[in-house]
Amino acid sequence: MLRVGLTGGLGSGKSTAARLFAALGARVLQSDAIGRELMEPGQPIYDGMVAHFGLGVVRPDGTLDRAALARIAFAEGRVEELNAIAHPLVIERQMVLTEEIFQREPHAVVIVESALIFETNYGSVDGAGWQRRFDRIILVTAPEEVKIARFVARSSGGKAISEEQRAEFEDEARRRLAQQISDEQKSALSDYVLTNGGALTELEWQVDQLWPILEAAA
């Protein structure tokens, strides 16, 4: 078995890399998807957010208002409060799902896609850090201007936007990137670095070269 952490800053393209690895046979767990599941009404992150931040983060339909939480986290500078609730629960779920996969497939390569592998202060429920949760770390990098442009495109849904809206999205991207450590620092902690500043075919080639190495390690 092999436990791999796949990380990268906002707009780096780590989700694209994860899809490419999945197509080759990796078992991919997405932290964002796990977080969304645990944010549903009645789930532990939902309960924790409402208890901590109040009913102002609940939409009329009873679901969590993710936009309100984002404003609290990034605009109000309370991201650590949010992380303290969400991260331990997401990491615990990752570990449970990983173990279930290995019970079925002892030689599987399980890749956990997460933006904040190095940044989180909540390594696991027993205090273990990322070094104990992963056998290998893959970092996906891209130039900052590319990351910001990708965030703007995603946030706008591909629609035409005003210069004022573009500036707002760019400022939001910079605020979020400021919460993450630099690619240079992450590179020093990673086993493999994939560069994703150009064409998709370049990333595909790098993933294809790395996959047999991961398989052999598993």
Residue 122's pLDDT is: 61
pLDDT, position 79: 85
What are the b/e assignments for 143-175, b being 16+ CB within 10 Å?
eeebbbbbbbeeeeeeeebeeeeeeebbebbee
Give pLDDT tens digits along the chain (218 positions): 999 999 998 999 999 999 999 999 999 999 999 999 999 999 999 999 999 999 999 999 999 999 899 888 877 888 889 989 999 999 999 999 999 999 999 999 999 999 889 887 664 434 447 888 999 999 999 999 999 999 998 888 878 899 999 999 999 889 888 878 899 999 999 999 999 999 999 999 999 999 999 999 99
Residues in the chain, how many?
Answer: 218
Report helix, strand or coil for 76: coil
Sign of CA dihedral 144, 138, 79, 98: positive
Of 73, 77, 106, the residue nearest 87 (C-alpha): 73
With beta carbons less than 8 A apart as the criterion, state whether 94 and 134 touch.
no
> Starting from the edge strand earliest in sequence, which strands make up the sheet with 136-141, in order?
27-30, 109-113, 2-7, 136-141, 192-195
Predicted TM-score of the model (pTM): 0.87
Domains and CATH numbers, the chain: 2-217 (3.40.50.300)
Both tokens of residue 87? Answer: 């991260």
Token pair recorded at residue 171 = 């400022």
